[in-house]
Chain A
């Protein structure tokens, strides 16, 4: 930050001097730093979001690309969605997938974070290794799980059969009953490290003296967790769940490579459905409409997210 050294004259607004924006020319130079990003945001975020909105009111087909015609059809795309039987399935699957992924990955992540809070040899290295699933490309994890889930030769069925937990191989990916569950399990595996890292760094901020005091007062491990860890961790928990939710809503790669949304739409979520409408059925208008529904849902949770980090923002003077 530049600090003005020249004397403040009586008429200059104090705020400007304190904020150090300098003269007009200086401020122009400063704006050149932000300009490329602003242009990028306008071209690659504002424009696409607006374009997606207008596309959702148009009939966009393959012909639109070749002949350029994309007639305005009002709310037809949205009406089409609501009357489509897949709509209900996709919404339900999105909710099941999101909640079904979030709850276990948060619980496992928290458990691991609490465990790795203890100091013991190799704890840092081991905690680091647990990050691997998060760092792998989702398509890679998806491919691995696809083979693990294979009905005939996949290791999961062979293991369960060997342990006599099941009597027949389970068609993990090819039955409508298990497809979504299989995708959820794989997605939980990917999501645990993210929860672990953020919750672990949150735990580091809990003062150890609190635990010592509680232990002196005779509080057991569960009581200490319940009355110290959880309350102090609440802001971090809110952020983890919110980000997890926004991220899980738009999971695409994992479902696509495991089941492609099938069988019979059993694992179709709003995201995969939007993709199928646009890029498989070439109905970009309807695909855009589903996308807009997703934006609205994401925005609602984004506002919650912004509210939960607002305090961090303000206390750090906007330098979060």
Chain B
């Protein structure tokens, strides 16, 4: 699969300092990044800060994104996820020190009446179903790695399985999700 032409062009414009390119990236993906950050941190203020950080980072160092490695959308998601996991870990560390439960502005996804909510909801449904369709053992492994930021070694320890098994479960799980998303026309085959 060659790099996506639109992503390559957008990256060029960001590198050149085209201000509209940043606004365009924000308008396309802020929704997604914000939901993802909210899902991982379960904190409204953190989700906003992370969304802002992700786009500031994209503007400051667009060269860091390599179109050969995948879509810009994916790169932004993975960046948001890692920032969100960092935030969550810091919160957990703080909580351990202070033994105080942090009051969080709980985030409840799934509110209707958002622009292009129809496409959004359809895609969300497909992704959810793809995750739900996984065998339990694969789903468990993916959720530990993706939402909790565990390495495959930590996943192995957590689930009490050999490391090789953890690796292959993660790979199979993603492969199954990729197949399903391709069948629904969300991912290219």
A binds B: no
